[in-house]
Amino acid sequence: MQTLKRLRLFLNTRLGFFTLLLFFFWLKTITAYLVDFNLGVTGIYQYFVLLLNPIGTTMLLLGLALYIKKPIISYLTMFLIYIANSALLFFNVIYYREFTDFMTINTMLGYSKVSEGISGSSFALMKPHDIFYVIDLALIILLFITRYLKFNANPFKKINAFAIMSFSIMLTLATLTLGEIDRPQLITRTFDRNYIVKYLGIDSYTVYDSFKTVKNNRVRDTAESYDLNKVLDFTKSHYASPNPSMYGVAKGKNVIVIHLESFQQFLINFKVNGKEVTPFLNSLYNGKQTYSFPNFFNQVGQGKTSDAENLLETSIYGLAQGSVFTSLGSENTFEAAPAILNQTSGYSSAVFHGNTGSFWNRDTVYKSMGYQYFFDSSYYDNSAKNTLEYGLKDKLLFNDSVKYLERLQQPFYAKFITVSNHFPFDIDSQNKDFEVPNTGDTSVNNYFQTAHYLDESVKEFFDYLQKSGLYNNSMVVLYGDHYGISNSRNVKLAKLLGKSSETWSSFDNTQMQRVPFMVHIPGINNGGVQPEYGGEVDVLPTLLHLLGQDSSSYVQFGTDLFSKTHDQTVAFRNENFITPDYTVLDSTIYDNTTGKEVTHPSKSVQETIKKEQKKVSIELNLSDTVNNQNLLRYYTPNNFKPVQPAEYNYKNQYDKLLKLQQELKNNSTSLYSEKGNKSTTNLYKTDAPELKPASESSSSDSKISSAATSAAHKSNSSSN
């Protein structure tokens, strides 16, 4: 009784009211975190951060009202702040149900082209338990009406208000630090809005997003047609016309892009203890039906995988800092491979990726790229045994995607993003079948195992392509997105590569940025190793020309690798570059054949390098202008219609595919229809232990499991 009385007395102070609101809001936020959002929280540490993160920001916001002297105004202000914050939380809950993502400022203001904000129809998304998010408001008002709570007329000391504010700022900073410890570069790289909310809370996320939006808008608003003209001048004069003997070699074929996660060129034909690490990829690489590029470099920045995707499918660079996908991808205009191929030759398009759709903001950006279908982790059985840190294991990704792939209308452009070969290269023991070297660094050792696993996965997929007949009318493009072994770990690798760790240099680190680029076209016989130097930015014009598409009117910074006038200078994101003869790092010139620094370059070498350096800087700068000022919104290439992202929706895609197939009747070109309405999934053979009958797992049936995202999210080490 006594305590109840005391509690009531406390609640009737201004601090008491503050505490009450703080407690209610904390409770609502945690409910949203655990019941409505799927943040993939694992382990005590992450739960601790989750429980802690709403406190600092809520105190900070409500605490503002404590500075107001007049009791009524102070109480009212505090309550209004509370209502506004509750509304933000609640709208996010509703929005999340539709988009599995959080609202950005642009969505709230209705500026986002990609997904509409909360609309009338969104209220159909309400659930019975939503009452919990509003009942507190009624309760508080009731407490005042019944006079259980009263306005306390005693002034609140400024110094106390200040103390509360300082404490709340400290708490917010502490949360940020705890988040950064678990997820380094949380803010700078912004992998995923889910992560920001998980570690920092919904309020901090909104503030962060507002800052970003204001900054982006400011830069964007400075755009002038003059800037676009400069870009067009460059891309037009840089354009390399196709090699007639290669133009249209793969015309009309399906395009299957296989993203080999963290896969470096040095693995190709590499042996450990006398055994090839990737025998299947080697066979492709060495064969006559593949154009293979050993001097092909990754050009990614902090956006890693997403930068690679952007470079490959738009031929525009990533940003000097952060990822284009996450920083600008929600608003920018894209003129990307899937949209181009759809508009020029009726290609359908899909991405298959066993991680959460919001990672790298893919679920949003893919719409602007014109991807018709995006099969993310929600389309696969992502139970714990099937996943590694970044989602579905590769063998399962390929196997489980076939039921969707066979329903795609042909020709299609389909991209598979693998994940198993990702730092820290950990794979469960039942999938280990390769004797790894001993370099003294576990992640380096295990890299060979996961690369080997990836190789087996690709082989199984190729076997299926052949059996199902897809193989003959497809062109398969394979590429490594970026390094797996970081510069700091390269020294551990040196000995295996026949080099010394003592003399290992930045020149060597740069050479390690080679990643495979292979274009496998069944039926050709003039393939083989191509000596040309090139990078990820060169892929799109190359592919367009192979498919018989004119690329001259697009804003693309790369050039066709097969063209006689292909530009062989490869720019890295930090303005370093490499040519067939020289590697230039911070103005230091290295000779590619000796690996030694050119201390006294001849006049002509000096001049060439100066010219190339200037071009590289201009090119990267122009690319930044295109991205930062969203210049493509002002430029529509010939025969191209701007993509309308809001027309895309990645829900219930399997049903959509079936429906389309039915509507098209005899005109359906899906593999399934071609086979006389028979599935080809039984043709897929995999030795994936997860699918062995002994284990109680089911095969290609997709289950939308609530655990789907958690395994994919549990990772806390994206970069090494």
The pair phi, psi for residue 685, each rounded to 5°, is -115, 125
**What is the residue type of 695?**
S
**Shortest spacing between CB 419 and ligand GP9, in angstroms:** 6
* 393: contact with ligand GP9 by CB under 6 A: no
End-to-end CA distance of the chain: 58
* 359: contact with ligand GP9 by CB under 6 A: yes
Which of residues 258 and 585 has its CB atom nearest to Mn ion in the complex? 258
* 390: contact with ligand GP9 by CB under 6 A: yes
Instruction: Map residues 272-311 to x or -, x wherever contact with ligand GP9 holds by CB under 6 A.
Output: --------------------------------xx------
Instruction: Map residues 394-433 to x or -, x wherever contact with ligand GP9 holds by CB under 6 A.
Output: -----------------------x-x--x-----------
Helix ranges restricted to H, 100-201: 105-108, 131-145, 158-182, 186-189, 193-200
* 356: contact with Mn ion by CB under 5 A: no
Specify burial of residue 378 (Cβ count, 10 A radius: 0-12, 13-18, 19+): buried
CA distances from 524 to 519, 521, 549 (A): 11, 6, 19
Does 400 carry a binding-site annotation?
no
The pair phi, psi for residue 323, each rounded to 5°, is -115, 135
Binder of residue 419, out of Mn ion, ligand GP9, none (CB less than 5 to 8 A by kind)? ligand GP9
Cα angle at 521 between 520 and 522, to 5 degrees?
Answer: 115
* 481: contact with Mn ion by CB under 5 A: yes
Q: Which helix (H) or strand (E) holds 475?
A: strand 474-480
Contacts of 444 (CB under 8 A, 6+ apart): 485, 489, 492, 493
**Shortest spacing between CB 454 and ligand GP9, in angstroms:** 13
Report yes or no: 312 and 477 within 8 Å, Cβ to Cβ.
no
**Shortest spacing between CB 358 and ligand GP9, in angstroms:** 10
The pair phi, psi for residue 388, each rounded to 5°, is -115, -165
Judge whether 278 counts as a catalytic residue.
no
Contacts of 425 (CB under 8 A, 6+ apart): 443, 446, 447, 449, 450, 484
- CA 561 to chain CA centroid, nearest Å: 26
Binder of residue 718, out of Mn ion, ligand GP9, none (CB less than 5 to 8 A by kind)? ligand GP9
* 305: contact with Mn ion by CB under 5 A: yes
- Stretch touching Mn ion by CB under 5 A, among 224-232, 314-322, 367-375, 481-489: 481-489
Give the C-alpha separation, 130 to 132, whole Å: 5
Does 261 carry a binding-site annotation?
yes
Report yes or no: 195 and 183 within 8 Å, Cβ to Cβ.
yes
Q: Hey, which bits of 554-678 come out as E strands?
A: 570-571, 577-578, 582-585, 588-591
Chain residues 432-461 in contact with ligand GP9, contact rule CB under 6 A: none
Which of residues 537 and 598 has its CB atom nearest to ligand GP9 in the complex? 537
Q: Which residue's CB atom is positioned nearest to ligand GP9? A: 304
Give the C-alpha separation, 302 to 325, whole Å: 11
- Stretch touching Mn ion by CB under 5 A, among 17-25, 203-211, 474-482, 647-655: 474-482
# of chain residues touching ligand GP9 (CB under 6 A): 9
Which of residues 136 and 481 has its CB atom nearest to Mn ion in the complex? 481
Helix (H, G, I), strand (E, B) or coil at 258: strand
Does 116 carry a binding-site annotation?
no
Binder of residue 311, out of Mn ion, ligand GP9, none (CB less than 5 to 8 A by kind)? none
Does 305 carry a binding-site annotation?
yes
* 394: contact with Mn ion by CB under 5 A: no
Give the C-alpha separation, 616 to 308, whole Å: 18
Beta bridge partners of 257: 415, 477
Which of residues 606 and 719 has its CB atom nearest to ligand GP9 in the complex? 719
Which of residues 213 and 490 has its CB atom nearest to ligand GP9 in the complex? 490
* 276: contact with Mn ion by CB under 5 A: no
Report yes or no: 260 and 417 within 8 Å, Cβ to Cβ.
no
* 299: contact with Mn ion by CB under 5 A: no
Q: If you ran DSSP here, which 8-state letter would residue 104 be given?
A: P
Does 129 carry a binding-site annotation?
no
**Shortest spacing between CB 262 and ligand GP9, in angstroms:** 6
- Pick the catalytic residue from 57, 100, 305, 583: 305
CA distances from 706 to 30, 37, 357, 403, 710 (A): 18, 11, 14, 21, 8
Binder of residue 113, out of Mn ion, ligand GP9, none (CB less than 5 to 8 A by kind)? none
**Shortest spacing between CB 185 and ligand GP9, in angstroms:** 11
Which of residues 46 and 361 has its CB atom nearest to ligand GP9 in the complex? 361
Report yes or no: 292 and 518 within 8 Å, Cβ to Cβ.
yes
- Stretch touching Mn ion by CB under 5 A, among 174-182, 456-464, 478-486, 585-593: 478-486
| Known binding positions for Mn(2+) | 261, 305, 481-482
Q: Supply the residues annotated as catalytic.
A: 305
| Known binding positions | 261, 305, 422, 481-482
| Known binding positions for substrate | 422
Query: What are the residues binding Mn ion (CB under 5 A)?
Result: 304-305, 481
Query: What are the residues binding ligand GP9 (CB under 6 A)?
Result: 304-305, 355, 359, 390, 417, 419, 422, 718
